[in-house]
Amino acid sequence: MNFQKFKEILLILFKWVLICVLIGLLSGSASAFFLLSLEFVTEFRIQHHWIIWFLPLGGLLVGFSYYYWGESVVKGNNLLLEEYEKPQKVIPFKMAPLVLLGTLLTHLFGGSAGREGTAVQMGGAIADQFTKLFNLDNSERKILIILGISAGFASVFGTPLAGAIFALEVIYFSKINFKSIILSFLVAYAAYFTVELWQVEHRQYYIYEVPEISINAIEWTVILGIIFGLTSMLFSRSTHFWGFLFSKIIKYPPLRPFIGGIVLAIAIAGFGFTKFSGLGVPVIAEAFWSPNPWYDFLLKILFTGFTLGAGFKGGEVTPLFFVGATLGSALSLIIPMPIALLAGLGFVAVFSGATHTPIACTIMGMELFGIQPGIFIAVACTIAYFSSGSVGIYKSQIVKGAKYKLYQKLQRKELENL
């Protein structure tokens, strides 16, 4: 290798390390600000329940902001996936402030939503701005989108390994090159440590008791994986159903979250369903030591699907954690396994099925709960992945890999039997 070639390699390496560090710092700082702001508005809502009655007003503000200023970014996470698959134009930076404002308004007034969508969209919008700065081509833009997703996910949940793998897996591995893998891990840790530097803490969950690995325990875990996978399917289809219904019935987009907000305010404040507003983190934490009512997970699916379908902003992942943890907790009354383990398995397995990311969810489970329950986590996430159908929470996600091949074989067999 001559000196000129070596110099070019060093310059390319320096460029991408610099990009990763910058994206990590900016996305991590954005996530830190978002998490602190989210904590503030959530605490304010808890202390002043009357504010939930203003949810229609919050919905109107969100609706107007996207209709008049954010039409090009209204697709959210799906826009990131579409731009990765078919790069066309740089994602407008306004995606970041719009989704931040929309999510904070949603949580302030009591809508049922998550936070991962916000962090991922902020990360993606920030990352894609480097396209022009470094004069990158479309193939390099794809790497930027991966880096943005990785940084956003890792920083908002405090799980850098899972964040890096999630970004690769949600895109699907068959179109990932080796450089993307290395850079995804680098930016995930850069974003994660940035949040740490801002001294923003993430919620900790614990599984105190893990049974010995046995045939009986694995059998129960497989059954749980199927249940969690079917629940993932219900969650995804519910969210898509409400979105379709609102768009069909209410033609003027800003009115969708306004009218949806009226219904939600009456249901949440009027009928006392406040435990299903916002993230629901206290309910998730309680699920690890006290059995939940069997219907909690169904109500969270209903409220989250309705909130997001109406046009409010946020994410689906924390509600998926809520759904999985409360379902697992409720099942502890009939399944002979420790309640914390069941809640933890539901926590990650329902997420796995809804996003088609079993590897990332398995890693996330071990980052959150430790290595000891790793076998149970891997089995539950894998079975949930295969049991959740072909439609996930992201409409633009292309489902490839083992599940795709399995469904193709099943379809061929059905055609042969006709």
Residues 344 and 248 occupy one common structural domain: yes
Residues 114 and 225 in one domain: no
**Residue whose C-alpha is closest to residue 352's, from 214, 291, 344:** 344
Phi/psi of residue 240, nearest 5 degrees: -65, -35
Q: How many structural domains comprise the chain?
A: 2
Domain of residue 261 covers 215-403
* pLDDT tens, residue by residue, 292-304: 999 999 999 999 9
- Domain co-membership, 288 together with 345: yes
Q: What is the pLDDT of residues 49-90, one digit of tens each?
A: 999 999 999 999 999 999 999 999 999 999 999 999 888 899
- Judgement on whether residues 258 and 182 belong to the same structural domain of the protein: no
pLDDT-derived band at 30 (thresholds 50, 70, 90) equals very high
Last residue of a domain, one of 197, 232, 266: 197
The answer to whether residues 151 and 276 belong to one domain is: no
Residues 238 and 376 in one domain: yes
Q: Which of 93, 34, 126, 85 is nearest to 313 (CA)?
A: 34
217-250 residue pLDDT tens: 999 999 999 999 999 999 999 999 999 999 999 9
* Residues 164-198: tens digit of each pLDDT: 999 999 987 556 677 889 999 999 999 999 999 99
Q: Which residue has the tokens 């993230």?
A: 279
d(CA 390, CA 354): 9
Dihedral angle sign, alpha carbons of residues 304, 157, 210, 383:
positive
Residue 408 lies in a domain: no
- Residue of 56, 35, 182 lying closest to 190 (CA atoms): 182
Does any domain span residue 418? no
Q: In this structure, is residue 415 part of a structural domain?
A: no
Q: What is the DSSP string of 172-190?
A: -GGG--HHHHHHHHHHHHH
Asked, for residue 413, whether it belongs to a domain, the answer is no
Contact 62, 113 (CB under 8 A): no
Q: Do 174 and 108 share a domain, yes or no? A: yes
Compute the average pLDDT of residues 337-359: 97
Query: Residue type for 26, please?
Result: L
Q: Verify that 57 and 88 share a domain, yes or no.
A: yes
In CATH, what number is assigned to the domain containing residue 84?
A: 1.10.3080.10
- Examine the fold and report which residue of 151, 166, 197 is the final residue of a domain before the chain moves on: 197
Judgement on whether residues 236 and 166 belong to the same structural domain of the protein: no
Q: Hunting for tokens 């614990």 — which residue is that?
A: 206
Check whether residue 188 and residue 224 sit in a common domain: no
Whether 203 maps to a domain, the answer reads no
Q: Which of 197, 232, 257 is the last residue of a domain?
A: 197
Is residue 206 in a domain? no
What is the full DSSP assignment across 259-283? HHHHHHHIIIIITT-GGGSS--HHH
The answer to whether residues 190 and 277 belong to one domain is no
- Kindly state whether residue 205 falls inside one of the protein's structural domains: no
Q: Tell whether 86 is covered by a domain.
A: yes
pLDDT for position 415: 47
Nearest 5°: the CA angle 264, 270, 273 is 65
Same domain, 174 and 317: no
